Amino acid sequence: MRPLPVADPGAPDIRSATRYLVWLAGRIPGPLGTAAFFGLLWLGSQALVPVVVREAIDDGLMAGDMGVVGLWSAVLLGLGVVQAVAGTARRRLNLYNSLSAGFRTVQLVVGHANRLGASLERRVDSGELVSIGTSDLRAIGSAFDIVGRAVGALVSLVLVAVVLLGQSPSLGLLLLVALPAILLTLGYTLRPLHRRQDDYRDLQGELTSRLTDVVAGLRVLRGVGGEAFFARSYRERSQQVRAAGTRVASAEALIRSAKVLLPGLLVGVVTWIGARAALDGSVTPGELVAFYAYAAFLVEPLGIMTETADRFARAHVAARRAVTVLRLEPENQQEEQAGPLPAGPGELVDERSGLTVTPGTFLVVVAPSTDGVRLADRLGGYTGDPVTYAGRPLTSVPPDEFRRRVLVVDNRSRLFRGPLRATLDPHGTAGDAAVAAALHAAMAEDIVEALPAGTDTVISADGHRFSGGQRQRLVLARAVLADPEVLVVVDPTSAVDAHTEREIGRRLRAARAGRTTVLVSSSPLLLDQADEVAFLAGGRVVATGPHRDLLASRPDYRLVIQRETGETPAGPPLADDAPSTPLATRGSAE
C-alpha cells in the first residue's frame, strides 16, 4: 500500500458523482480487491459455522461418537481463527481505502481551489470548502470503508441460500423470496432519508459559511456593535440546521428499526417452519439448529447490505458537492503555451487600464479600492483580461513559471498555523540572514523579538495573536523573502501608524532595488518613495509622473490624496525630508 496522502492525486472523472466514485475506486484496485477477499473470508467463515454445528450434532452427539465431536470442534476453532485474522486484515485495509478516498478528494479540491485563484471566493462559499474537507471527506471515505464487508455479505447470502436449498427446498425458496423483499423494503425507506440528508447538507454548508464570515469579521462587528445581530442570525440558522438534523435522525431511526424488525420476522418464520419439519421427522435435530443459526446469521449480512446502500447514498451526495467545485473552470483559461519566458525581467502591461510597469521601477498606483484590487488580480494573471509580460499574453505563459516571477499580495493574504519561520519561508530554502533582511524591510523585527521563541514560535491559524498591523507586516516580510521579479502589493500599510508606514516605504524601496515593485495605495508616505505614480480614474490610467508633480498639476489627484490625509495637501513641492502628511492624521491600528 502506498503512503498517504499520495503525491499526485491524478485527473478525476468529473462527468458525474457516480463516475467520480468509480474513478476513486479505480485508484486503489489492489487494496479494494484485497479488502473484498478478506471480507469474504471473514463473513464466509461465519456462514459455515451452522454447517459445522449441524454435522457435530447429527454425526457426533446423536451417534454418541465424541471423536467426531472433537473433530468438528477443531474445525469450528479453525473457522474462528480464520475469522479473527481475516477480520483484522479487512479492517486495516478498509481504513486505508477510506483514508485514500477521503484524502484524494481533499487534495483534488484544494489543488483546484488554488488553480481557481482569486475567483474562488466569488464562486464558492468558504463554508462549502470547509464542509467538503470535513463532513464530505468522511462520507466518501465511509463508503469505501464498507466495501470489504459488503462483498462478504453478498457472497455469504448466496452461500446460505445454496446450503438451505440443498437441505430444505421450502426454506431455501423462502429465503430467495424474502431476502430481496427485505432489501427492497429497506431501500424504499432510504429514499426519504437521502432527501433529508441532502437538505441537511445544504443548510450545514450555509451555516458553516456564515460562521466563518462572522469569525473573520469579529473585530469589525464588535467595533460597530453588530455582534448581537449576527449572533441572533446565526442562532436562528443553527435552529434550522438542528430541525433538519432531527428529520434526518427520525428517518434513520425508522431504518434502524426496520433493520431489526424485518430480519427478526424472517428468523421467526424460519424457526417455525424448521420446528414443524423437525416434529414430522423431515429434518434432523442438527439441521433444525442449523436452520435457526442461519436465520440468526442472516441479520448481519442484511444489515451490512442496508448500511452499504446508505453509505453510498451519502457518498453520492458528498461526491456531487466535490464534483461541482472541480467542474469550475478558471477564469484565466490558458491558450496554447508558447514555451518559457525569456530570462530576466520583462515589461508588464495591463491593456484594460493602460498601465505599463517598467522593469526595475518602484511604482505606486493610486486608484479606488475596488479598481486597485481588480488591477492586482489582472497583473497576477488571475483573470482572463488582456495582460502581457515581456511581450507575451499571460494566457500563453506557463502558470507555474509566471507565479514564480510575479507575486500578488493583498489584504486577503493569510498566515498559517505552525512555526512562524515556516509561514515566512514555506519552502525552507532561505537562510537566517535572508529572513532577518525580509523582516527588516517590513519593519517586523520587533514582532519577532517579542515572541518567546522568535521565528520558531508556533502561531495560530491566521496569526490571531497578532494585531492587524502586525499581520500585515509579517505578510509583507514573507513577500519580500520570496523575492519575485515583480511584486504587487495592495494597501501594504493600511493598518499601521504613520511613522511605521514611512519607514516601511523607505526600507521596501531599498530592499527591492533593481526589482519591479507595484504598490496599490493612496498614502502620501508611500507615494513620496515612488519612482513613478500612476493615477487611475474610471478604471483607466489618466496621469503618470512623480507624486509632487501630480499634486501640482492634477486637481482630481489632489482630491484623492486629501481624502487619504484628511486635509488639503500644500501645492508647492515639499522638502525631501518633510513628511507629506501630518503624522497626527494617521491612526494606528496596532
Which structural domains are found in the chain, ordered by start? 17-326 (1.20.1560.10), 348-577 (3.40.50.300)
Say what the pLDDT of residue 474 is. Answer: 94
d(CA 372, CA 83): 67
d(CA 247, CA 142): 22
| List of residues 6+ apart from 93 with CB closer than 8 A | 1, 31, 34, 35, 38, 148
Listing DSSP states for 367-391 in one string gives: --HHHHHHHHHHHTT-S-S-EEETT
Contact 338, 396 (CB under 8 A): yes
d(CA 312, CA 319): 10
Listing DSSP states for 106-166 in one string gives: HHHHHHHHHHHGGGHHHHS-HHHHHHIIIIIHHHHHHHHHTHHHHHHHHHHHHHHHHHHHH
3-state DSSP of 237-283: HHHHHHHHHHHHHHHHHHHHHHHHHHHHHHHHHHHHHHHHHHHCCCC
Say what the pLDDT of residue 201 is. Answer: 63
d(CA 378, CA 373): 9
195: cell is 432527501
Diameter of the chain measured on Cα atoms = 120
Residues in the chain with pLDDT values less than 70: 1, 117-123, 125-131, 133, 183, 186-195, 197-202, 204-230, 331-339, 564-590
d(CA 113, CA 105): 12
d(CA 109, CA 12): 11
Q: Round the CA-based radius of gyration of the chain to a whole number and report it.
A: 34
Say what the pLDDT of residue 580 is. Answer: 38
**β partners of residue 503:** none
552: cell is 501640482
56: cell is 457435530
- Cα atoms in the 13 Å half-sphere on the side-chain side of 568: 6
d(CA 565, CA 582): 8
128-144 tens-digit pLDDT? 666 676 778 888 999 99
Give the rounded distance of the alpha carbon of 221 from its chain centre.
27
